[in-house]
């Protein structure tokens, strides 16, 4: 079978890309859109040409969609076997990692400790907004977008605290930016966003209309939405993080939470490929074809799922070993039921989120038989005396499995 290649590659092979373009866009299987772009050459828009975006669902693309659905089924099966504390710790940990990676893709340095500290702090931090929005994903609280105003609201929710420390990024239009924006790689301009707020709003309205189409498979639709949002670039800063948040939110709703929270992690592993997907798709010679962009995004999703599946299998094996060890400890140390339950929760948390030890209140939320922290602490004090757990913070009281336990499990 002849390899399906981009129009730009065919151009360099001296093939008739005008004829090939007509064949592709008029193929009865092609998903056509009303989303229009000016192609981009050396970072500038070629306004003499305008193309409507389209995607041809070639066999490779269909196979990747199927694999993503199969992987998701496996992820759901493995994760459903986890105890409650392990499941929650796992989701919190990959969410924190996702936030660190999506920040890192934009050159914004953050660490998992910063994210965890911000989550537990009563004070607002520069990352509070983005953390709260990702927490919404984990809780199944998915945003609906029917108007450009709702995009602005989500932006404010994510970046309000960030704008306080970077006021130069404050939006100066009615809803979005009113001045131009240019994206650079080193000394080179690689992209020019929409030139006016009026055009931004028009294109976002077109995008929202496309998002609500029912005749486009959801993974293809999500990928197209991601490309076009970044093409528009409605903000002075935060476009990439916002776009990936929308993509993650969509994946969490349509596929599973774990897949949704592994997107930026996967992209971070091959940042050049990610940026090249946008560059190549916007090339004048590719005439608005999104087939290869969609393929690339599906590959990122698959790689993220592969990492999640491996992590879940490895940690589930570790947890099973820890549970066997706990049964031995229960006999040797004559542990009571509550003590055994508490220690197992500390083990789960260490295995799945070692950088985020539990407060006493958090531990209590997992132990249904107890109603007060005061009562719980009687059991925790004995576990401490036995050298099975240790205190790592006093206000609030935060504890974790002791080194004795950690070294064994």
Least Cα distance to 88 among 345, 368, 390, 385 occurs for 345
Whole-number pLDDT of residue 374: 96
Q: Is the pLDDT of residue 187 over 90?
A: no
Whole-number pLDDT of residue 123: 81
Residue that wins the pLDDT comparison between 190 and 277: 277
User: Domain limits of the chain?
Assistant: 30-309, 334-408
Whole-number pLDDT of residue 406: 97
Whole-number pLDDT of residue 171: 97
What confidence tens digit (pLDDT) does each residue in 345-404 have? 999 999 999 999 999 999 999 999 999 999 999 999 999 999 999 999 999 999 999 999
What confidence tens digit (pLDDT) does each residue in 68-100 have? 999 999 999 999 999 999 999 999 999 999 999
Q: Is the pLDDT of residue 1 over 70?
A: no
Q: Which residues contact 275 (CB under 8 A, 6 or more apart)?
A: 185, 190
Q: Give residue 51's region: left, alpha or beta (phi > 0; psi -120 to 50).
A: beta
Residue that wins the pLDDT comparison between 184 and 37: 37
Whole-number pLDDT of residue 190: 84
What confidence tens digit (pLDDT) does each residue in 211-222 have? 999 999 999 999
With a pLDDT cut of 90, the percent of the chain lying above it is 93
Least Cα distance to 192 among 39, 51, 43, 41 occurs for 43
What confidence tens digit (pLDDT) does each residue in 224-252 have? 999 999 999 999 999 999 999 999 999 99
Whole-number pLDDT of residue 142: 87
pLDDT band at 188 (very low <50, low <70, confident <90, very high): confident
**Residue 211 and residue 145: Cα distance in Å, rounded?**
9
**Helix, strand, or coil here: 41?**
strand
**Helix, strand, or coil here: 349?**
helix
Residue that wins the pLDDT comparison between 299 and 142: 299
Q: What is the mean pLDDT of the chain?
A: 96
Instruction: Name which of 36-40, 124-128, 187-191 the model is least confident about.
Output: 187-191
Q: Which residues contact 249 (CB under 8 A, 6 or more apart)?
A: 137, 142, 143, 260
Q: Is the pLDDT of residue 186 over 80?
A: no
Burial 167-182 (b: 16+ CB within 10 A, else e): eeeebeeebbbeeebe
334-408: CATH number:
1.10.10.10
Fold classification of 30-309 is: Fic-like fold (1.10.3290)
Least Cα distance to 197 among 177, 180, 212 occurs for 177
Q: How many CB atoms lie within 10 A of CB 93?
A: 22
Whole-number pLDDT of residue 125: 87
Question: Would you mind telling me the total number of residues written for the chain in this entry?
Answer: 409
What confidence tens digit (pLDDT) does each residue in 248-273 have? 999 999 999 999 999 999 999 999 99
Q: Are residues 188 and 43 in contact, defined by beta-carbon separation less than 8 angstroms? A: yes
Q: CA quadruple 289, 61, 14, 44: dihedral positive or negative?
A: positive
Q: Are residues 381 and 388 in contact, defined by beta-carbon separation less than 8 angstroms? A: no
């Amino acid at each position: 079978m002849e390899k399906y290649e981009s129009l730009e590659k065919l151009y360099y092979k001296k093939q008739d890309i005008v004829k090939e373009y007509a064949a592709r866009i008029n193929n009865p299987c092609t998903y056509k859109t009303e989303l229009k772009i000016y192609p981009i050459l050396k970072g500038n828009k070629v306004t003499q040409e305008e193309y409507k975006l389209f995607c041809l669902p070639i066999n490779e693309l269909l196979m990747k969609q199927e694999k993503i659905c199969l992987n998701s089924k496996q992820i759901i099966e493995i994760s459903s076997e986890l105890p409650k504390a392990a499941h929650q710790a796992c989701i919190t940990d990959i969410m924190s990692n996702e936030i660190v990676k999506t920040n890192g893709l934009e050159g914004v340095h953050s660490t998992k400790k910063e994210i965890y500290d911000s989550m537990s702090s009563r004070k607002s931090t520069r990352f509070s907004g983005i953390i709260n929005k990702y927490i919404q994903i984990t809780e199944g609280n998915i945003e609906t977008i029917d108007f450009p105003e709702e995009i602005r609201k989500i932006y404010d929710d994510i970046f309000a605290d960030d704008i306080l420390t970077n006021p130069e990024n404050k939006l100066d239009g009615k809803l979005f930016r009113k001045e131009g924006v240019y994206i650079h790689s080193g000394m080179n301009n690689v992209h020019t966003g929409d030139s006016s707020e009026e055009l931004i709003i028009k294109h976002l309205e077109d995008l929202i209309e496309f998002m609500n189409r029912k005749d486009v498979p959801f993974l293809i639709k999500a990928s197209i939405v991601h490309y076009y949002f970044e093409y528009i670039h409605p903000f002075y800063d935060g476009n990439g993080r916002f776009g990936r948040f929308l993509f993650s939110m969509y994946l969490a709703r349509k596929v599973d939470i774990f897949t949704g929270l592994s997107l930026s992690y996967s992209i971070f592993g091959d940042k050049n490929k990610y940026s090249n997907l946008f560059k190549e798709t916007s090339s004048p010679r590719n005439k608005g074809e999104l087939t290869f962009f969609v393929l690339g995004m599906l590959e990122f999703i698959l790689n993220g799922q592969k990492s999640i599946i491996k992590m879940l299998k490895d940690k589930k094996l570790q947890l099973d070993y820890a549970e066997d060890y706990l049964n031995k400890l229960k006999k040797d140390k004559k542990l009571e039921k509550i003590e055994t339950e508490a220690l197992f929760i500390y083990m789960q948390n260490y295995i799945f989120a070692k950088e985020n030890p539990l407060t006493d209140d958090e531990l209590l939320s997992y132990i249904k038989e107890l109603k007060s922290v005061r009562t719980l602490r009687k059991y925790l004090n004995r576990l401490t005396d036995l050298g099975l757990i240790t205190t790592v913070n006093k206000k609030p009281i935060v504890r974790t499995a002791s080194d004795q336990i950690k070294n064994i499990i």
